[in-house]
Amino acid sequence: MSRNGRGTLGETWGLIRAVAGAMGVTLRNLFRKPVTVHYPDVIRPYPDRFRGLLALTYDPQTGEENCIGCRLCEYICPPQVIKVEMLKAEKRNYAKSFFLELYACEFCELCVQVCPTDAIIMMKSFDLATDDRRELLLDKDRLHQLGLEFPPSWATGERLRAMQAPASKGKEKVVPKEPSE
Ligand code: SF4
Ligand code: SF4
């Protein structure tokens, strides 16, 4: 047999082995339980510390908005996607307007961490897909609505700060429990 003939035979054999190997992988996976789900018909449970959509909260006791318009979230936000205008009132302050550009959010959770009234939190969902970016510019009403629509994640400003604060002298540090504990 010529050198050229041996080369062609070797290539053919290599091709057969590659196809057989690929078919083997296909066959093995054909009978495996799928790892994907038919979202959104099937929604996987999210972890309790999931960093999802941002939302504003109401006080469950009084029904009042928790946001006092202090703008701390605006100052801390690295990509500067939050804009708050404060409304001064007699007993307490409010957010006159609150805008959050969710399309540019980094989901760093810093706004949640600094909020003194647990007014801004993250939800256990990311279900806000759209082909229109303008829908991801969230105003105050939309942010409050999201807070009622989805289950909240564990983190609040108070919990995150307590977790990260150094223990004070002579006192045992009180760390808030993780949801799974
Ligand atoms: S999660 Fe981070 S990037 Fe997103 S709004 Fe809050 S501070 Fe800004
Ligand atoms: S969400 Fe919290 S940090 Fe942001 S303005 Fe309102 S009270 Fe202040």
Task: Give the tens place of pLDDT for each residue, 49-93.
Answer: 999 999 999 999 999 999 999 999 999 999 999 999 999 999 999
Tokens of 86: 């404060």
Per-residue CA distances from 48 to 13, 106, 134 (Å)? 53, 19, 29
Q: Is the CB of 100 under 6 A from ligand 2?
A: no
Q: Is the CB of 152 under 6 A from ligand 2?
A: no
CA of 85 to the centre of ligand 2 (A): 10
Residue 24: is it exposed, middle or buried by C-beta count within 10 angstroms (0-12/13-18/19+)? exposed
Backbone angles phi, psi at 162, to 5 degrees: -65, -35
- What pLDDT score was predicted for residue 169? 72
The protein residue with its alpha carbon nearest to ligand 2, atom 6, reads 67
Class of domain 54-164: alpha beta
How many percent of the chain have pLDDT more than 90? 75
Q: Is the pLDDT of residue 174 over 80?
A: no
pTM: predicted TM-score of the whole model, two decimal places? 0.81
CA of 162 to the centre of ligand 2 (A): 18
The protein residue with its alpha carbon nearest to ligand 1, atom 8, reads 77
CB 107 within 8 A of CB 53: no
User: In whole angstroms, how large is the CA radius of gyration of the chain?
Assistant: 26
Chain segment 16-47, per-residue pLDDT in tens: 999 999 999 999 999 898 889 998 899 889 99
| Nearest ligand by distance to the CA of 101 | 1
Identify the weakest region by mean pLDDT among 14-18, 74-78, 97-101, 129-133: 129-133
List all residues whose CB is within 6 A of at least one atom of ligand 1: 54, 76-79, 81-82, 100, 105-111
The protein residue with its alpha carbon nearest to ligand 1, atom 5, reads 105
pLDDT range class, residue 181, cuts 50, 70, 90: very low
